[in-house]
Structure 1
Amino acid sequence: STCFSTHHLQFAEDANHTLWTSSGGGGGVVGWLNTKMFDETGDEEKSQGWTALIVDHNGNGRRDEYTEANAPADPAKDRRVNAAFYGVAPSPSDGSVWGSVLGFPGSLVRLSPGANPPATALAEVYEVPWNNPRAAVQGFSPRGMDIDRNGVVWVSLASGHFASFDRRLCKGALNGPTATGQHCPEGWKLYPTPGPNFKGATEGANADAHYYNWVDQ
């Protein structure tokens, strides 16, 4: 058994055959299981770990003391994000782990485990563009997601779009106080899916409910 909730699961391509888990939208942490260690020792306690989602709010490039999500931000500290993964996908390109966060407008979160997680684990939050004048198309509410060999994340949106997010296209800071979630609209591409819209809707209201998607790597 684990000390954290699990829902969707996916293996990383690392030496430990790490199994990364989502919590299904609650719980507030991301967990993993070192399956190599578990197979060799049978010790489920030593083989598992978990981390809260901490963003590098002070922009110093490392995880250090942080404020809780419901406390005022401190420019000298990092900050916890009140979020949990629904979909989860380790990136084969750089070892990071991505997850989709339910809600409105919802987001994708990149978790970099670092050399010694959870002590070194840092997160980045990229919200779906919404009311963002820098975005060509607006969308909302991700659910299932997956990732390709280049590290591009693909996600289904309740707004009636199939979307991709490519972190390499971001032009500004990825961490620090200006990385507020809506800071990289240029990384997103939203593709309207075929099918009828709800009556009276002009955009972003496809009557189909897109649940999950997978990438054939």
Structure 2
Amino acid sequence: MNSQQFISLGWRPFLFGLCIAVQGVVLSTASPAFSNCNDRMPCMESLKDEMQNLGSIYVIAQNQQESTLFNNNNIYGVLNSPSNPTQFSLSKTTRLTYFMNYHWNSGRGQAPGTMWLTHQDGTTYGPWQATTEPGQGGVPNAYWIVRPNVILKAGNYTIGDSHPSSWAHNQQSGSRGMSVLKGIATSTPAGNGNTGAIDCSQYQGMERILCEHEVNGDNYRP
């Protein structure tokens, strides 16, 4: 972790002040790294060393940019009921921040349902209840949107939609349902079961604290 990453840790600098105020007495119980934290500079160096060690656990999402993971949406006329599965691949572990399926439905839109992802090994992420935004010309419920903020492992995925008969597609999309997914490449801890939730119980001390704050969104906003 470089100095810029260390400075850009959001709420984490608060821990420096806390550490200085109590002179390491309280924080020494959170991690062995603080057991000799008896004055200002050793305390700060101990916390810095502890946070640098986290580099092997995960990369702070703030220091990375959201990018498009998949997008077969286009401006051409569409039909309903795609005949081919909508699939995409991830080369690395990624935090899914945005997921959209397009339901033009001949200008009528479609009341929102659920969306999900299925990994090649059978693991399912979701289903998530969608919210909607109007489409071209003010068509209601055209864009089904979820913001899952879950960790996806690398591999091949198939996109699921609870109302495929109104899911838009065309020749340009390869007769696959139109979708857009965005996310942030990361190396966060492994997911828990089929929910994509991060399991912080495998860590101790400061590693546990920082993991739990990451999961609770203290360091990330989609």
TM-score, with length taken from structure 2? 0.21
Q: Which has the higher helix share?
A: 2
Answer 1 or 2: higher relative contact order, Cα 8 Å, separation at least 6.
2
TM-score, with length taken from structure 1? 0.21
Q: Which has the higher strand share?
A: 1
